[in-house]
Amino acid sequence: MNPTAPTASAPGLLIIGGGPAGLMAAEAAREAGVAVDLYEGKGSVGRKFLLAGKGGMNLTHGEAKADFVQRYGARAKEVGAWLDDFDADALRAWARGLGVETFVGSSGRVFPSDLKAAPLLRGWVHRLRESGVRFHAHHRWLGWHDDGALRFATPDGERAIRADATVLALGGGSWPQLGSDGAWQPWLAARGVDVAPLQPSNCGFDIGWSDFLASRHAGAPLKPVVAHWRDAHGLGHQRQGECVITETGIEGSLIYALSATLRDAIAKHGQTTLQLDLAPDRTLERLERDLAKPRGHRSLSEHLRRQAGLTGVKAALLHEVLDKTQLSDIALLARTIKRLPLHLKRARPIEEAISSGGGVRLEAMNEALMLNALPGVFCAGEMLDWEAPTGGYLLTACYASGRKAGLGAANWLKELQR
């Protein structure tokens, strides 16, 4: 490694991380009149933002504020306070200010009118540059020197930069190839910051299919189905949606919505069971009556198709949990169709997850998102200890926390100057 260059100073605010939280922190601080330098480890900002928008940029969600806030589970109170300053309506108005109109889809999700992320990001970065934000690409943060200076790896060797205030917006542990690799965890922990271990969220789960199912039906959608599960208090819940069979288990929007609950249950008990209703439009009584009709010379597969509306992967799943004798038991077969038990062994690795849970505990920060152990250092985005389902909730909270941290840092700097 090249020798470390002399320590430089960054007047104003130094932001590390060019995702939505970091960019919003930069915008908020500039609006407050603070000089901003933004450092990004990759060659350009917003890479995860662009990838997330590949299938249609889901910016936020159109549901009522009270319901919206509850999507953040145990952190609803804290995240709700961020949203008081910048909620879904504010995000849509912000996008409109960049010339991007939005619409509410049939699912309640909010999208740009062209469904694309790139035009919004380009307009945003252009506006930030015009406002005076200075961007520094290919600067990968390496932690702190003993004297408190920030260390950066650059193509020209290591640099040391001293800042009066810093916003860390480094992401969690999902999609590490785009920069969110969680490398920051030991550096913050070593300086007395309470960090909860990162873990996968909005992820799939391993089940362990037979070779037949894995080879013949991996990638097959399950729709519609109704998931049944029990929470940590033993209360039963259900939710309709869609999911997908994978080579090792199951994933998809319905599974992602339950992933935190399922993951925590596995951590507590070693595994957990999720039940799927494969025929939500039919009652148990109807299934029993229809399946009891004579098969004649028809195969079981044909009988299931005619009398239960089950084909392909749904029929194959029954063979995963019932043997030949059990499949002949009409009452048991009908009950299994209505409550197919799936024994989930483990969550898929965090590198495959859409997002991550864990991170800097909110108790380690004040209301302005400044670290109690490191005055002048603020954190925002997915590196904080909160999680939410897909549907625009993740992105909205990243924006809101970035704005909160950017304004907090600007106020901190102004207090220093008094």
Domain boundary at 319, 347, 375, which?
Answer: 347
pLDDT at 1: 39
In a domain, 50, yes or no: yes
Domain boundary at 347, 379, 406, which?
Answer: 347
Q: Are residues 194 and 219 in the same domain?
A: no
pLDDT at 229: 95
How far apart, in Å, are the Cα atoms of 258 and each of 28, 73, 175, 343? Answer: 34, 11, 20, 14
Q: What does pTM read for this prediction?
A: 0.92
Q: Are residues 59 and 188 in the same domain?
A: yes
How many domains does the chain fold into? 2
Q: How crowded is residue 235: how many other Cβ atoms within 10 Å of its Cβ? A: 8
Parallel, antiparallel, or unpaired for β 272-277 and 340-344? antiparallel
Distance, CA of 181 to chain centre: 14
Q: Are residues 270 and 409 in the same domain?
A: no
In a domain, 1, yes or no: no
pLDDT along the chain (418 residues), means of 10: 59 95 98 97 94 87 96 96 97 97 95 94 98 97 95 96 96 91 96 97 97 96 95 89 97 95 94 97 96 92 94 96 95 98 97 96 98 98 96 96 98 90
Q: Are residues 156 and 238 in the same domain?
A: no
Q: Are residues 197 and 210 in the same domain?
A: no
pLDDT at 336: 98
Domain boundary at 322, 347, 372, which?
Answer: 347
In a domain, 96, yes or no: yes
Is residue 193 a contact partner of residue 374, using CB atoms and an 8 Å limit?
yes
Phi, psi of 318 (to 5 degrees): -65, -35
Q: Are residues 285 and 376 in the same domain?
A: no
Domain that holds residue 274: 205-347
Q: Are residues 64 and 17 in the same domain?
A: yes
pLDDT at 4: 53
Q: What CATH number is attached to the domain comprising 172?
A: 3.50.50.60
Q: SS in 3 state form for the chain?
A: CCCCCCCEEEEEEEEECCCHHHHHHHHHHHHCCCCEEEECCCCCCCHHHHHHCCCCCCCEECCCHHHHHHCCHHHHHHHHHHHHHCCHHHHHHHHHHCCCCEEECCCCEEEECCCCCHHHHHHHHHHHHHHCCEEECCCEEEEECCCCCEEEEECCEEEEEEEEEEEECCCCCCCHHHCCCCCCHHHHHCCCCCEEEEEEECCCEECCCCHHHHHHHCCCEEEEEEEEEECCCCCEEEEEEEEEECCCEEECHHHHHHHHHHHHHHHHHCCEEEEEECCCCCCHHHHHHHHCCCCCCCCHHHHHHHHHCCCHHHHHHHHHHCCHHHHCCHHHHHHHHHCEEEEECEECCHHHCCEEEEEECHHHECCCCEECCCCCEEECHHHECCCCCCCCHHHHHHHHHHHHHHHHHHHHHHHHHC
In a domain, 342, yes or no: yes
Q: Are residues 75 and 212 in the same domain?
A: no
Q: Are residues 100 and 16 in the same domain?
A: yes
Q: Are residues 193 and 242 in the same domain?
A: no
Q: Are residues 380 and 277 in the same domain?
A: no
Q: Are residues 365 and 386 in the same domain?
A: yes
In a domain, 2, yes or no: no
Is residue 172 a contact partner of residue 182, using CB atoms and an 8 Å limit?
yes
Half-sphere exposure of 216 (CA within 13 A, CB side): 12
End-to-end alpha carbon distance in the chain:
41
